Amino acid sequence: MFHRESSQCLIELLRADLGFDDQTWGDILAKAVGCRETNALNEHQVQQVLGGITKSALSKGLLKTSPATGERAGFADGLQASLINYLWSKLFLHSDAKTLRRTLRAKLQEVTGVSDLRFLSHEDGCSMIERLVELFSQSHSARPSPIPQMKAR
């Protein structure tokens, strides 16, 4: 779905927001995929863990479902829209809802050429999530963070 580094960063963001300490997280990973650190996961394991942690985040209300996108072939699904909204709100933590919507539409237009999540293709949804993870990594690189930094491409 995403590049390995983006997926690992997204996993670490969700892990932190779900409140898993290192010991608990290591136990969860060991039970799920047989290793204790996110950085040690292979590509298949990363996707498996990302799927599991997004389900946890949805069930705990950290990610909000986005029914407006629907489940149309070739278009971004509800999970992609939820992750985009989640990452955007993490980037602009202290903004009001109206500002978040307005600035997200502008960034969507800039990155994908579409300003509405309902018309975002599945591929563009993946690209947008990767770009937001990259922006988040860059904005937090000035301070120490448990989140792995994205490599410049």
Per-residue model confidence as pLDDT tens digits over 75-110? 888 888 889 989 998 888 888 889 888 999 999 999
Please tell me the total count of domains within the chain. 2
Helix, strand, or coil (residue 26): helix
Count Cβ neighbours within 10 Å for each residue of 117-146 and write b for 16 or more, e otherwise.
beebeeebbbebbbbbbbbbbeebeeeeee
Domain boundary among 32, 59, 86: 59
CA atoms within 13 A on the CB side of 121: 7
Cα(86)–Cα(80) distance, rounded to whole angstroms? 10
Whether residue 114 sits in one domain with residue 55: no
Confidence category of residue 15, pLDDT binned at 50, 70, 90: very high
Confidence category of residue 148, pLDDT binned at 50, 70, 90: very low
- Indicate the helix (H) or strand (E) that contains 8: helix 4-18
Residue 77 in any domain: the answer is: yes
Q: Which domain holds residue 15?
A: 4-59
